[in-house]
Each structure stands twice: as C-alpha cells, then as structure tokens.
Amino acid sequence: MATSSENSIRVRRAQKDDAAALMLVINAAFRQAEGFFIDEQRVDLESLLDLLGKGTFLIAESEGRLLGCVYVEPQGERAYLGLLSVHPENQQAGLGSRLMEEAESYCRNLDCRMMDIKIVSLRPELSGFYQRRGYIKLRTSPFPPGVETKLPCHFIDMSKHL
C-alpha cells in the first residue's frame, strides 16, 4: 500500500541525475511482475541514459523518494509509452493510473494524437488495465530477440487516440 497521501505526490520530468533511482524502481517493479518468466533486469544504467536522450521519463515522488515512473517518446503525431513502473511498496494505490494520465497529457500537449504501448502476452491483467483507459489491441509482435524467457511469449501492441 502507498505510504504517501495522493496530495503529497508530485510528478515531474526526470533529469539525468535521476537515472540510478529510476533504474532501481523500474527493476524492482518488473522483477515482482515478470520474475515468473524472465530473470534479466529490465534496464541497466546505460540503457536508461540512452532512453533519457531519446524521450522523457515522468517520475512520481514524495518527500524526495521516487515512487514510480513512466517513459514517453514522442514520434511525430504518435507517442510511445513504456516502462510504467510503480515501486512494489506503492502499488495498488492508483499511482500507475495517475502516471498514465500525466503521460497522456504530456504527449497531448506536444500535439501527439495517438499513444502506442506494448504489453507482454503472459500478463493478461495488463490488457484490462489498458483497455479501461481506452487502449485497443492492434496486433502482436515478437518479443525482443536475445532476451531469454522461461516461457514463450510475445507482445500485444495497443494504441489509444489522445
């Protein structure tokens, strides 16, 4: 359960000096959610810094502590959203939904008209989470080559009009 009240949480754009804290939150969230099918860390510092050079991480924090984040990368009229992460101690308190709303608003303000996401086929609960927010399934795509998984899986590509 969340340890901070909704009012004390602020969302801001991440800076490069946030990279180490981002890496810890992302890996903790994904280890809990995806540990049953993948052993690898979701991100390392190098890949995180690369993403910070391409797009934007919006981070939710309270009292100087990073609680969650989401990555957005505008691509013309479309934007890609990924790495929605809430630290396990702060899950199930609406923070993921708030980060989604902030990310969609951020991209809307950049004149993006569509938001694209990829979810892993082995996590059916994600489909409902995103469908409730207006995302529709478009197609499937392969899981990244070179990423070893314990179970066969693929991505489900979804999109939403902003």
Residue whose pair of structure tokens reads 């890496």 in the numeric block: 23
pLDDT at residue 5 tops 60: no
pLDDT at residue 139 tops 50: yes
Least confident of 27-31, 59-63, 135-139, 142-146: 142-146
Domain ranges of the chain: 12-161
pLDDT tens-digit series, residues 19-60: 999 999 999 999 998 989 998 889 999 999 999 999 999 999
Q: Alpha-carbon distance 112 to 76, whole Å?
A: 7
Q: Alpha-carbon distance 106 to 64, whole Å?
A: 22
- Angstrom distances, CA of residue 9 to CA of 23, 57, 98, 146, 150: 19, 16, 10, 37, 36
Question: What's the pLDDT score for residue 7?
Answer: 60
Residue 31 exposed, middle or buried by CB count within 10 Å (0-12, 13-18, 19+)? middle
Question: What's the pLDDT score for residue 3?
Answer: 40
Q: What mean pLDDT value characterizes the chain?
A: 92
Binning pLDDT at 50, 70 and 90, where does residue 92 land? confident
Of 69, 76, 81, 19, nearest in space to 45 by CA: 19
Binning pLDDT at 50, 70 and 90, where does residue 145 land? confident
pLDDT at residue 6 tops 60: no
Please give the CATH topology (third level) of the domain spanning 12-161: Aminopeptidase (3.40.630)
**Residue 151 CA neighbour count, 13 Å, CB half:** 10
Q: Alpha-carbon distance 123 to 42, whole Å?
A: 15
Question: What's the pLDDT score for residue 93?
Answer: 86
